[in-house]
Amino acid sequence: MDKTVNQKAWFLILPVLILVAFSAVVPLMTVVNYSIQDTFGNNQFFWVGLEWFEDILSSERMWNALGRQLSYSAIILMIEVPLGIYVALHMPKKKGFSASICLVLMSLPLLIPWNVVGTIWQIFGRVDIGLLGYTLEKLGISYNYTQNFYAAWFTLIIMDVWHWTSLVALLAYAGLQSIPDAYYQAAKIDQASRWNVFRYIELPKMQGVLMIAILLRFMDSFMIYTEPFVVTGGGPGNATTFLSIDLVKMALGQFDLGPAAAFSIMYFLVILLISWVFYTVMTTLDKRDGV
Amino acid sequence: MASIPAQRTRPRFNIVMVLYILFMLLPIYWLINMSLKTNAEIISTFSLWPQNLTFANYATILTDSSWYLGYVNSMIYVSINMVISLVVALPAAYAFSRYSFMGDKHLFFWLLTNRMSPPAVFALPFFQLYSSVGLFDTHIAVALAHTLFNVPLAVWILEGFMRGVPKEIDETAYIDGYSFPRFFVRIFTPLISSGIGVAAFFIFMFSWVELLLSRTLTSVNAKPIAAVMTRTVSASGMDWGVLAAAGVLTILPGALVIYFVRNHIAKGFALGRV
């Protein structure tokens, strides 16, 4: 849509600007402040320059947390995206009762509070009272997510798959819905194989929404805090201490303000970068759709 | 015989969906199952359904003030947040969808970064900010803190809906002599009512599910249900039945309205862009 140039539109934006500045810019400046100063208490600060940044960048702890975080995000993306597409392809094509039921049941996990998602899997995975843990134990697989590294990771990954695959599926489904029937009929006349239909009709049409899905999932898994905090608390040891968990430990647990602030800023810069990619994808999509 | 392959595809498609939905529902079923058992039964016997059906766990929550006040607190700050977010986001979304002005793209991007920024980064500064202005442990503090991600979310979602409304409607209304506020309230708002509903739903949800900020900013008076739940886990460690019942009760609000937003869930998560 071609928009009219109107500088007075700023007045409509003003409330948002003030509110978000209060809740985003002010706190962020506090963080910047801490990241370049040190304190001995009593509100006395002195300038330390980039020392905290150097500290953090050379600390093993941060790199380990980042490594765990990236592996986690990579693993869940590799499972959720193909599975989500697969599920979307099997959803009822026509709008109707069965499609509604599928949508409602699939969306349920998306609407559950994140700490309750944690609670559900904490219970579900327990060997003594949880269905998953009990079944695995009966099958002779030793499984204990509070002690065992692999079990902890397995629990967190299957939890995320359970929680978020539906989002990928719903987005992919929305993409599939926009394909006109004529495309399929043409493919049928050409006797295209199922794979070719997928590869040359469905996948290109889903490309945009899949980009959104991948970026959203990457971003949200990159900031994950509540679910692992409830299920494993970052353990066993530090096995599931992801970036956010580590940061909260540092800032609110140990009150290491300087390092925590430097950590925050680098974390935020990474997010900024991903947001920019996301924004670019969104705006090109808007243009391509000609809205 | 020619029709057999066509029929065969139906059961196969069902099996994938049935398995997937089963996978979705099993953990939820297990939570409900646990909430209807006594603690003694949970620990002593392993059963797929409650042997002695009991609603005692729900009774505990609904009669113990330290539990049900958690729900009340959550409801209060979620509602405040919803009102603030919608009121400021509506005009802004209109401006973004209709006009171009200096810095509009940068602003729109900046809003997005706030939706995407990790709450963990903001936990400590929020704690200090709200403590220093004397708002610590109040509902308004949590509501304001949640505007950090909910206002940008609302602006993006509403903008997505508003761009679907043809500009000619605005122009006709102005020619007919409507002033901007009257046009906005009388004509435009009803046109995007479904968008407002979806935005409200997602504001509600993201505020309802957030734990880190609401836990950091409260101690007693405004303690949300999510924080009450984590405390109970660490304190007694054994009260699984009550914990499960509390979990079921937090799922209810989402489950009740899900049918009405079923076609918009993807759109809401994708910030109005699908």
Q: Is the same domain home to B25 and B69?
A: no
Q: Is the same domain home to B249 and B117?
A: yes
What is the four-CA torsion angle of A267, A270, A274, A279, rounded to 10 degrees?
90
For the ranges A32-46, A223-237, B27-41, the lowest mean pLDDT is seen at A32-46
Q: Is the same domain home to B26 and B70?
A: no
**Contact criterion met (CB below 8 Å) for A123 and B244:** yes
Q: Is the same domain home to B68 and B127?
A: yes
Average pLDDT over residues A234-245: 82
Instruction: Tell me which chain B residues have a C-beta less than 8 angstroms from the C-beta of A23.
Output: 126, 144-145, 147-148
Cβ separation of A119 and B244 shorter than 8 Å?
A: yes
Closest residue in chain B to residue A32, using alpha carbons only: B125
A38 beta partners: A46
Interface test with B, best of A2, A23, A100, A220 (most B CBs within 10 A): A23
In a domain, B51, yes or no: no
Closest residue in chain B to residue A24, using alpha carbons only: B148
Nearest to B73 by CA among B142, B147, B151: B142
**Contact criterion met (CB below 8 Å) for B17 and A87:** yes
For the ranges A63-67, A205-209, A256-260, A266-270, the lowest mean pLDDT is seen at A256-260
Question: What is the maximal distance between C-alpha atoms in chain A?
Answer: 79
Q: What is the pLDDT of residues A166-175, one digit of tens each?
A: 999 988 998 8
Instruction: Tell me which chain A residues have a C-beta less than 8 angstroms from the C-beta of B247.
Output: 116, 119-120
* DSSP tag of B197: H
Give residue A271's identity as a one-letter amino acid code.
Answer: I
Instruction: Tell me which chain B residues have a C-beta less than 8 angstroms from the C-beta of A15.
Output: 87-88, 91-92
Q: From residue A98, how far is each of A106, B9, B14, B171 by CA, in Å?
A: 12, 16, 10, 42
What global pTM score does this model have? 0.84
Q: What is the pLDDT of residues A109-148, one digit of tens each?
A: 888 888 888 888 888 888 878 888 888 888 877 788 878 8
Cβ separation of A252 and B88 shorter than 8 Å?
A: no
Angle at the Cα of A203 from the Cα atoms of A202 and A209, rounded to 5 degrees: 105
In a domain, B55, yes or no: no
d(CA B261, CA A104): 9
Closest partner CB to A111 (pick from B25, B89, B205): B205
Q: Is the same domain home to B113 and B238?
A: yes
Q: What is residue A209's predicted lDDT score, i.e. its pLDDT?
A: 85
Instruction: Tell me which chain B residues have a C-beta less than 8 angstroms from the C-beta of A212.
Output: 270, 273-274
Q: What is residue B232's predicted lDDT score, i.e. its pLDDT?
A: 59
d(CA B186, CA A66): 51
d(CA A95, CA A100): 7
Q: Is the same domain home to B145 and B20?
A: no
Q: What is residue A74's predicted lDDT score, i.e. its pLDDT?
A: 92
Q: What is residue B143's predicted lDDT score, i.e. its pLDDT?
A: 92
Cβ separation of B100 and A23 shorter than 8 Å?
A: no
How many structural domains are present in chain B? 2
Q: Is the same domain home to B189 and B103?
A: yes
Q: What is residue B87's predicted lDDT score, i.e. its pLDDT?
A: 93
Cβ separation of B24 and A252 shorter than 8 Å?
A: no
Q: Is the same domain home to B11 and B117?
A: no
Give residue B231's identity as a one-letter amino acid code.
Answer: R
Q: Name the 3-class secondary structure at A142.
A: coil
Q: Is the same domain home to B77 and B29?
A: no
- CATH number for B184: 1.10.3720.10
In a domain, B58, yes or no: no
Cβ separation of B240 and A114 shorter than 8 Å?
A: no
Q: What is residue B7's predicted lDDT score, i.e. its pLDDT?
A: 39
- pLDDT, one tens digit for every residue, chain B (274 residues): 344 444 344 444 578 888 999 999 999 998 898 888 887 777 777 778 888 788 888 888 888 888 888 889 999 999 999 999 999 999 999 999 988 888 888 888 888 888 888 887 888 888 888 888 888 888 999 999 999 889 998 998 999 889 888 988 988 998 998 988 899 989 899 999 888 988 998 898 888 888 888 888 888 888 888 788 776 554 455 578 888 888 898 888 888 888 888 878 877 887 777 6
Q: Is the same domain home to B130 and B251?
A: yes
Give residue A267's identity as a one-letter amino acid code.
Answer: Y
In a domain, B49, yes or no: no
Q: Is the same domain home to B106 and B177?
A: yes
Q: Is the same domain home to B119 and B233?
A: yes
Q: What is residue A75's predicted lDDT score, i.e. its pLDDT?
A: 94
In a domain, B176, yes or no: yes
Cβ separation of B212 and A111 shorter than 8 Å?
A: no
Show the domains of chain A with their CATH numbers.
Answer: 62-289 (1.10.3720.10)
Closest partner CB to A226 (pick from B147, B211, B247): B211
In a domain, B238, yes or no: yes
ipTM score: 0.82
Q: What is the pLDDT of residues A47-99, one digit of tens each?
A: 777 777 887 788 888 888 888 999 999 999 999 999 999 999 888 877 778 88
Torsions phi, psi of B252, nearest 5? -50, -50
B254: containing domain: 64-269
Report whether pLDDT(A194) > 60. yes
Quickly count: other Cβ atoms within 10 Å of residue B208's Cβ.
25
Instruction: Tell me which chain A residues have a C-beta less than 8 angstroms from the C-beta of B101.
Output: 5-10
In a domain, B48, yes or no: no
Closest residue in chain A to residue B217, using alpha carbons only: A252
In a domain, B85, yes or no: yes
